[in-house]
Each structure stands twice: as C-alpha cells, then as structure tokens.
Structure 1
Amino acid sequence: MRKLAAGRRIAATLATASLAGALGLTGSGQAQAAAPEPLNFTVDFSRTSFPQVPTLGAGFAGNGPVVDAEGNQIGTAFDTCAVDGVENATTADVICTVYVKFANGSELDLSTQAPVDVNPFDYPYTFQGVVQGGTGAYDGAQGQATIIAHRPRVYEVVVSFK
C-alpha cells in the first residue's frame, strides 16, 4: 500500500508542477514588455463646440491635431464627452474618452473626468486622466496622464506609463 500512496503523491506533485508551469507561476513564463517611454504632446480641440449652456447629461464630441514640443503634428485626437456636473453658465464637469491616433499607426486610449471652463482668465489649470490601453507601441499600455489646460480647448498631455 505504501508504494501506491507514494506513487500518487509523486503523480500529484508532477501534475501540480506541470499546471504551475503552464500558468507561468514558476517564473519561467514570458517576460513582461517594458513600459513605453513617457509621452508629452498638445491637443487643440478648438474645433469642438462646447454646449452653449452646459446641461447635465448633454454630450459633445470633437477632434483636433496632436502636436509635439516643436509644433509638428504627430497625430489626431478624437474625443467624446458627457456633462456630468454643472457649476455655472460657463463651467462644467465632463467625463471624456479620448483616442489619440499617431502618425505611425499606434493609438492611445485616455479617459478623464475633467473640468471645462470657457472663461479665458481661469487658465491654466491641471487635472488627471487614466491610460486605458492602446495599439501598436501602446498595446496594453496602462498609466496616468496629467492634463494642463492652457486655454479653452487646448491641452498639454503628459503621459506616464506603468
């Protein structure tokens, strides 16, 4: 009987080790890809029309060029937003999803709950966003974005990846 019990323990140990190896639990799995380098760009959404009177639940969308620090266009950003809070006639809180399509074909998906202010004297101000993924160089990317509103509808975006 001892041989049978020992045989079962060996078989169980081998099965567990095989399963752990298949799941990558033993450390011999694939190495994780390195996070992309930090990214900094400016988006000009001046072609986006903010609702004349911000209304809770109102939506809006737009697009605009994405430029690097030297002013070269490196892509286009597309946003979709919904008003989720109204402060006064010129200020609202919005939830936005922004897809940035870069000239090299890579895409980056950002999301934020952002203050929008049409009063040009209230600039600059800063808020945070979340990197939700992407394609190409940003496939599976995660991280955060610091967004600096320099003037109405013009945002500098500084992305840090995990």
Structure 2
Amino acid sequence: MHRLAMGRRLASAVATASLVGALGVAGAAPALAAAPAPLSFTIDYTRNTSIPQTPNLGGGFAGNGPVLDASGKQIGKTFDTCGIDGIEGPTKMDADCDAYVVFNNGDELNIRTQAMIDANPFDYPYTFKAVVEGGTGAYDGARGEAKVTAVRPGVYKVDVNFK
C-alpha cells in the first residue's frame, strides 16, 4: 500500500511540474494583437461576373472587380468564387461564396458567406451576413463578421466588425 501511495505522489508531482512548465511556456508567448478597426467598403462586380441567369445545383460562378471606399476611390480589388448548393426557384440560388479582398497596400482580407442570391432580383437593397476568416498583413488571423448589403445587381456594401 505504501508503494502505491508513493507512486501516486510521484505521478502527481510529475504532472504538476509538467503543467507548471507548460503554463510558463505559454505565458512567455507574445500577446495577440488587438483586433483591427471596423472597416467599410463597396465591391463592384458589375463588369466581371459569371452569375448564371438559370442556376444549376452543383454549378458555380465567379467574379472580380474593384473595391471602393466611401468617396468612390479604388482601394483594392476583389475575387470571389461561389458554389450553388441549393435552388429556390427559377432564378434564386443558395450559394456558398469565398471573397478575397486585396487592398492596394497588399493586405488581404478573406470573407466567406452562405447566402441566397437572386439572378434577377427586383427588391433592393437586401442584406446577408458573412464571416471574416483571416487574411494577410493587418488582417493576419483576423476574425469577425460582415454585414453585406446588395445595393443593386453586382454591387455590395460591406461593413466588417472584427473580434
């Protein structure tokens, strides 16, 4: 019995020392950077998009275009690809989309959404949410949420809040 108790104490001491060592190493890690400030911009896909007028389940589409600030000045460009994973009528599709915004300074912001898109909509504006999935430069490791407002066909206002 004495040997069993001694073995437990030894195992407990080793486990405690390992935990303290691990916490010490973790504590020495640099602190995470503060979240970036909220960001707003407009994406314009009106010239370059392949959105289908009649969606096909399993099909896809892509687009690219300028990214504009509130004054209309180009601050970058964007590229997106979408997969159609649901059809809700002759022109409405549920799309899983990834957008990559590349700002003029080279920083990149990655945004992903699952949204209902109407190839021939009549009701503007409409909104949907998106998730921020990191990026590069100032957005390396960034997380957050974006509110995307379809202003007119192919034009989206994006308001990003980081966590």
Q: In the alignment, does 2:23 pair up with 1:23? A: no
CA distance in 1, matches of 2:150, 2:45: 11
Inter-partner Cα distance in structure 2 for 1:19 and 1:96: 40
Cα distance, 1:51–1:118 mapped onto 2, change above 3 Å: closer
Q: 1:120 Cα shift?
A: 4.4
Q: Is the CA contact (8 Å cut-off) linking 1:117 and 1:152 kept in structure 2?
A: no
Task: Report if aligned partners of 1:44, 1:65 keep a CA contact under 8 Å in 2.
Answer: yes
TM superposition score normalised by structure 1: 0.86
Q: Would you say the 8 A contact 2:76–2:101 is kept in 1?
A: yes
SS of alignment partner, residue 105 of structure 1:
coil
Give yes or no for contact 2:53–2:120 (8 Å, CA) kept in 1.
no
- In the alignment, is the contact (CA less than 8 A) between 2:52 and 2:119 conserved in 1? no
Distance 1:85 1:31, change over 3 A: same
Q: CA RMSD in A?
A: 2.2
**Partner of 1:52: helix, strand, or coil?**
coil
C-alpha distance after superposition, 1:100-150 (max 9, x if no partner): 000011000000011212334211001000001100010100000000001
State which drifts further: 34-43 or 48-57: 48-57
How many residue pairs were aligned? 155
Q: Which residue of 1 aligns with 2:3?
A: none
Unmatched runs of 5 consecutive residues or more in structure 2 = 1-5
The offset of 1:15, in angstroms, is 5.0
Counterpart mapping for 1:1-162 below 5 A = 12=14, 16-24=19-27, 29-46=29-46, 47-162=48-163
Alignment gaps of 5+ in structure 1: none
In 2, distance between residues paired with 1:94 and 1:118?
A: 11
Following TM superposition, by how much is the alpha carbon of 1:52 offset from its aligned partner in structure 2, in angstroms? 2.6
